[in-house]
Structure 1
Amino acid sequence: METNIATKQKDKVKIKKPKNYKVVMYNDDYTTMEFVINILVSVFNKNLIEAEKIMLDVHQKGNGIAGIYSYDIAMTKVANAMSLAKEQGFPFKLTVEEV
């Protein structure tokens, strides 16, 4: 007498949340406050009040956080901001750091 017993194996798939990365802006003596605000509004989608606060952090503390994003989004925003800075002749510096 044969018995066929089927067993089911459940594989548990763990999905990790993607890591977050902060975009840090740095102060310099050449990039204008107006340009920094413009970048924060146009590239980082900040409202004017948020943009002014971040710009003042950059100006007074030496750096400020433009936002926290997934890696690809952070890198794209930095590339866009750096491209605009280069077009305007500003030595604007941004970095992407893991949170």
Structure 2
Amino acid sequence: MSDVVTPPKTVTRTKTERPKLYKVVLLNDDFTPREFVVMVLKAVFRTTEDEASRIMITAHQKGACVVSVYPRDVAETKAMEATDLGRQAGFPLMFTAEPEE
């Protein structure tokens, strides 16, 4: 009998990186009614009435407020959807998606 030497198997594991996160930011403006901003926050971001009011007031007082954090494609889609709702209603409502630091 002959001795057969088999080399050890090597297992290569690829490590998947988590997607970079982006924050959706509500920018304050002096023209969009508060009630409309709250309605958009509830509809697009599924916030409660209290949470939507808090976000809206913070943006009003500080000029901007982080609404939520998502993977890039989700953040960009939600920011665009919320901004578009404002535009359709004739308001300058603006949401942006920015890299999370």
TM more than 0.5: yes
Give the number of aligned pairs: 99
Residue 34 of structure 2: aligned partner: 33
1:2 positional shift = 5.8
**Please, which runs of 5 or more residues in structure 1 have no aligned partner?**
none
User: Which deviates further from its counterpart, 49-58 or 2-11?
Assistant: 2-11
**Please, which runs of 5 or more residues in structure 2 have no aligned partner?**
none
Secondary structure at 1:43 match in 2: helix
Q: Deviations over 1:27-58 (max 9, x none)?
A: 11111111110111000100001000000001
In the aligned structure 2, how far is the partner of 1:94 from the partner of 1:79?
7
Give 4+ residue runs of structure 1 displaced > 2 Å after superposition. 1-4
1:4-43 to 2 correspondences below 5 Å: 4-43=5-44
1:10-89 to 2 correspondences below 5 Å: 10-89=11-90
Q: What is the RMSD computed on CA atoms of the aligned residues?
A: 1.3
Q: Percent of pairs identical after alignment? A: 38
1:7 positional shift = 2.5
Q: Contact 2:26–2:96 (CA<8 Å) still a contact in 1? A: yes
In the aligned structure 2, how far is the partner of 1:38 from the partner of 1:58?
15
TM-score using structure 1 length: 0.92
In the aligned structure 1, how far is the partner of 2:49 from the partner of 2:20?
28
Secondary structure at 1:15 match in 2: coil
